[in-house]
Amino acid sequence: MTSEEMLVSLCGETSVKNFKRVKGVSQGLASAIREMVAEDLEGRLPAKGKQFVTTRYGHYRISTGSNSDNSTEMRAHDTMGAIPVQVFDDISDRRKAQGVISLDELYRKHGFHLDWDAFMSDLRERL
pLDDT tens readout for residues 59-116: 999 988 776 556 666 666 677 788 999 999 899 998 899 889 999 999 999 999 999 9
Contact status, residue 74 vs residue 60, Cβ threshold 8 Å = no
Contact status, residue 46 vs residue 117, Cβ threshold 8 Å = no
116 lies in a domain? yes
58 lies in a domain? yes
Q: Which domain, by its residues, includes 92?
A: 12-126
Least confident segment among 26-30, 31-35, 38-42, 68-72: 68-72
121 lies in a domain? yes
Domain count of the fold of the chain: 1
4 lies in a domain? no
2 lies in a domain? no
7 lies in a domain? no
1 lies in a domain? no
Residue 114 has a pLDDT of: 96
Q: Of 79, 85, 43, 81, which Cα lies nearest the Cα of 64?
A: 85
Contact status, residue 4 vs residue 19, Cβ threshold 8 Å = no
24 lies in a domain? yes
Residue 82 has a pLDDT of: 87
The model's pTM is 0.82
Contact status, residue 105 vs residue 113, Cβ threshold 8 Å = no
pLDDT tens column, 42-71: 999 988 877 889 999 999 999 887 765 566
Contact status, residue 52 vs residue 82, Cβ threshold 8 Å = yes
